[in-house]
C-alpha cells in the first residue's frame, strides 16, 4: 500500500500549540478581566456574515473589500464572507437584537479569528485573532478617553514591551472634505514624485496617501498639509477634551498627525498602538471613532468608538508571566490491574483542584519515569502490584528522586488524599 500524502494547513493559516496558547490565554484572561471591570459585556459573534455588511461598512473601494475578503456564494445563492474584522458585526448585532432601542449606550467586547487574504509574512496571517471593544451611543470625549485608559491599563497588565500609543483626529464631515481637497491639490502638485498606488489614492481617498510605505512618497508627504491644522471647532474641542482626560489618568501617548485609519467611517479620534522591534508589521492594535457607521448600516444616527488588538502581535511583545509549571503529580499504573485504581485516584485528586497527569500502563517503571520528567511533574504516584496489595501507592519526589513507599492510602477520601499530596509537595526541593 502506498503511503497517503500528509495534508498541510492552507497557506497563511496556522495552528497555535500549547506553548504559544498559554500566553494567549494569559492575555485573553487579562483582557476579559479588564474589560469587565470597565463595564463591558462580551458579545459572541458569527464568523460568517453577508458580504453586503462589509461592502457597506468598510467601503467598496478599500483594500480589504476589494482584494482581501474570503467571499463565496452559499448553496442558497447568498454571497457570504468570512469576517475580516468585527466592528461591522457588532453594529449589525446591536441593531438586529434591538439593543439600539433597549440599551443604546452599549459597551461590548469580542475576541476571535478574523480572515483577510493578505500576502502572508512574519506577523501577518490570513487567519488571525483579535480582541476588541466597542462603545456605542456615546459622542462624548469621555467615551474615547475611558476606552484608551482601559487599553493602556491592559497593555500594562500584559506587560507589553515597547508599545506606544499614537493619537490623531481625522476630522468629521464638517472639516474633512475641505482638508481632503487641500491634500489632493498638494498631491497633484507633486504627482511626478508619487508612486502608481498613490496616484490612485489621490483620486479615491487622498487621506490614504499617508499609508504609503514607499520612501519617495513618504518624503513628499513629510511636507503635506496636516489635518490637525484643518479641524473645525467641535473636532478641535473633542480632541482637546480627550487629551485632557488622558492626562488626568497619566496615560502617555504621542500625537501623530499622519495617522489615518484606512476605513471611511472613522471620524475625529483615531489611534494606533505601535510596537518597536516588530519589523514591518508593527501595529499591535488600532481604533477610533466611527459616528457614521450605525446609520450607514440602516440604524439610527448613533455614535461609536472602539479598538481592535491583534493577538499574535500582542503576544509577541507581551512579557506577561505564563504558568510553565508541569503537573503537581503524575499517576503511573504499572500494569493492567492498576489502571482503574489509578484513574479513580487521579480523578479524586483533580476533583480537589490538583493538576494531575495519568499515563497508560504497559511500560517499565523506568520508561514511565522518563515520561514524568518530560512532563515536568513534581511527584510520581506509582500504582504497582505490590501497592495494590497493600492498598497504598508509592510517592516519588521527582526533584530528588527518592521514594516514600506505600505513602498514600488508595481508598482514603478525596480531601484526605489531596491533603497528603499537598503536604508532599511542600517538602519538595
Q: Is residue 59 a contact residue for ligand AMP (CB under 6 A)?
A: no
Shortest Å, Cβ 297 to ligand AMP: 17
Q: Where are the beta strands (DSSP E) in 37-106?
A: 41-42, 48-50, 70-73, 79-82
Backbone torsions φ then ψ of 198, nearest 5 degrees: -65, -35
Q: Does residue 360 sit in helix, strand or coil? A: coil
Q: Which stretch binds ligand AMP (CB under 6 A): 26-34, 55-63, 117-125, 292-300?
A: 117-125
Q: For residues 290 and 269, what is the distance between their CA atoms, to the nearest angstrom? A: 9
Judge contact between 369 and 385, C-beta under 8 A: no
Q: Which stretch binds ligand AMP (CB under 6 A): 14-22, 104-112, 122-130, 336-344?
A: 122-130
Q: How far is CA 103 from CA 108, 296, 304, in A?
A: 11, 20, 14
Residues 82-101 that bind ligand AMP (CB under 6 A): 85
Backbone torsions φ then ψ of 181, nearest 5 degrees: -65, -40
Shortest Å, Cβ 28 to ligand AMP: 15
Q: Is residue 116 a contact residue for ligand AMP (CB under 6 A)?
A: yes
Q: Is the Cβ of residue 58 or residue 393 nearer to ligand AMP in the bound state?
A: 58
Shortest Å, Cβ 81 to ligand AMP: 15
Q: How many CA atoms lie within 13 A of 359 on its CB side?
A: 29
Nearest residue to ligand AMP, scored by beta-carbon proximity: 310
Q: Is the Cβ of residue 95 or residue 308 nearer to ligand AMP in the bound state?
A: 308
**All residues at 6 or more sequence positions from 398 whose CB lies less than 8 Å from its CB, including other chains:** 369, 372, 373, 377, 378, 379, 380
Q: Which stretch binds ligand AMP (CB under 6 A): 123-131, 170-178, 251-259, 378-386?
A: 123-131
Q: Is the Cβ of residue 278 or residue 343 nearer to ligand AMP in the bound state?
A: 278
Residues 326-385 that bind ligand AMP (CB under 6 A): none
Residues 128-147 that bind ligand AMP (CB under 6 A): 128, 130
Q: Is residue 118 a contact residue for ligand AMP (CB under 6 A)?
A: yes
Judge contact between 221 and 258, C-beta under 8 A: yes
Shortest Å, Cβ 118 to ligand AMP: 5
Q: For residues 358 and 356, what is the distance between their CA atoms, to the nearest angstrom? A: 7
Shortest Å, Cβ 134 to ligand AMP: 12
Q: Is the Cβ of residue 68 or residue 103 nearer to ligand AMP in the bound state?
A: 68
Q: Is residue 69 a contact residue for ligand AMP (CB under 6 A)?
A: no
Q: Tell the residue number behind the cell numbers 482584494, with chain if given.
A: 67
Q: Is residue 125 a contact residue for ligand AMP (CB under 6 A)?
A: yes
State which H helix or E strand residue 272 sits in.
strand 267-275
Shortest Å, Cβ 152 to ligand AMP: 16
Strand partners, 164: 274
Shortest Å, Cβ 222 to ligand AMP: 24
Q: Is residue 197 a contact residue for ligand AMP (CB under 6 A)?
A: no
Shortest Å, Cβ 58 to ligand AMP: 10
Judge contact between 287 and 90, C-beta under 8 A: no
Shortest Å, Cβ 115 to ligand AMP: 9
The site string for ligand AMP over 273-312 (x = CB under 6 A, - otherwise) reads: ----------xxxx---------------------x-x-x
Judge contact between 360 and 388, C-beta under 8 A: no
Q: How far is CA 221 from CA 157, 178, 229, 261, in A?
A: 37, 18, 15, 16
- Write out the three cell numbers for 255: 500625537
Contacting residues toward ligand AMP, per CB under 6 A: 85, 116, 118, 124-125, 128, 130, 283-286, 308, 310, 312-313
Amino acid at each position: 500500500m502506498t503511503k497517503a500524502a500528509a495534508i498541510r494547513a492552507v497557506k497563511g493559516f496556522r495552528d497555535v500549540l500549547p506553548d504559544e496558547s498559554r500566553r494567549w490565554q494569559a492575555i485573553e484572561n487579562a483582557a476579559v478581566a479588564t474589560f469587565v471591570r470597565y463595564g463591558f459585556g462580551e458579545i459572541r459573534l458569527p464568523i460568517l456574515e453577508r458580504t453586503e455588511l462589509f461592502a457597506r461598512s468598510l467601503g467598496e473601494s478599500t483594500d480589504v473589500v476589494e482584494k482581501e475578503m474570503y467571499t463565496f456564494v452559499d448553496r442558497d445563492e447568498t454571497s457570504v464572507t468570512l469576517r475580516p474584522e468585527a466592528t461591522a458585526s457588532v453594529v449589525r448585532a446591536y441593531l438586529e437584537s434591538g439593543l439600539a432601542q433597549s440599551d443604546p449606550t452599549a459597551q461590548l467586547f469580542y475576541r476571535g479569528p478574523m480572515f483577510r487574504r493578505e500576502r502572508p509574512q512574519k506577523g501577518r496571517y490570513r487567519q488571525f485573532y483579535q480582541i476588541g471593544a466597542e462603545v456605542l451611543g456615546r459622542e462624548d470625549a469621555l467615551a474615547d478617553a475611558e476606552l484608551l485608559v482601559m487599553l493602556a491599563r491592559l497593555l500594562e497588565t500584559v506587560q507589553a514591551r515597547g508599545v506606544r500609543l499614537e493619537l490623531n483626529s481625522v476630522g468629521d464631515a464638517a472639516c474633512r472634505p475641505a482638508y481632503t481637497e487641500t491634500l489632493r491639490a498638494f498631491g497633484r502638485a507633486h504627482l511626478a514624485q508619487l508612486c502608481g498606488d498613490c496616484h490612485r489614492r489621490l483620486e479615491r481617498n487622498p487621506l490614504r496617501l499617508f499609508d504609503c510605505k514607499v520612501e519617495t512618497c513618504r518624503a513628499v508627504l513629510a511636507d503635506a498639509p496636516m489635518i490637525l491644522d484643518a479641524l473645525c471647532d467641535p473636532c478641535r474641542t473633542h480632541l482637546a477634551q480627550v487629551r485632557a482626560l488622558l492626562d488626568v489618568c497619566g496615560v502617555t501617548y504621542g500625537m501623530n498627525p499622519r495617522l489615518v485609519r484606512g476605513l471611511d467611517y472613522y471620524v475625529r479620534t483615531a489611534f494606533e498602538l505601535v510596537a518597536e522591534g516588530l519589523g514591518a508589521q508593527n501595529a499591535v492594535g488600532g481604533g477610533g471613532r466611527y459616528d457614521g457607521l450605525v446609520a450607514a448600516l440602516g440604524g439610527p444616527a448613533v455614535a461609536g468608538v472602539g479598538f481592535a488588538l491583534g493577538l499574535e502581535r500582542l503576544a509577541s511583545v507581551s512579557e506577561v508571566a505564563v504558568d510553565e509549571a508541569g503537573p503537581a503529580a503524575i499517576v503511573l499504573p504499572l500494569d493492567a490491574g492498576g489502571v482503574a485504581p489509578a484513574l479513580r485516584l487521579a480523578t479524586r485528586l483533580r476533583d480537589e483542584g490538583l493538576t494531575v497527569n495519568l499515563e497508560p500502563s504497559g511500560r517499565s517503571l523506568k520508561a514511565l519515569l522518563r515520561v514524568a520528567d518530560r512532563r515536568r511533574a513534581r511527584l510520581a504516584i506509582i500504582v504497582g502490584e505490590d501497592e495494590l496489595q497493600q492498598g497504598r501507592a508509592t510517592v516519588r519526589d521527582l526533584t530528588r528522586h527518592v521514594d516514600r513507599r506505600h505513602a498514600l492510602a488508595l481508598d482514603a477520601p478525596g480531601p484526605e488524599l489531596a491533603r497528603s499530596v499537598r503536604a508532599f509537595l511542600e517538602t519538595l526541593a
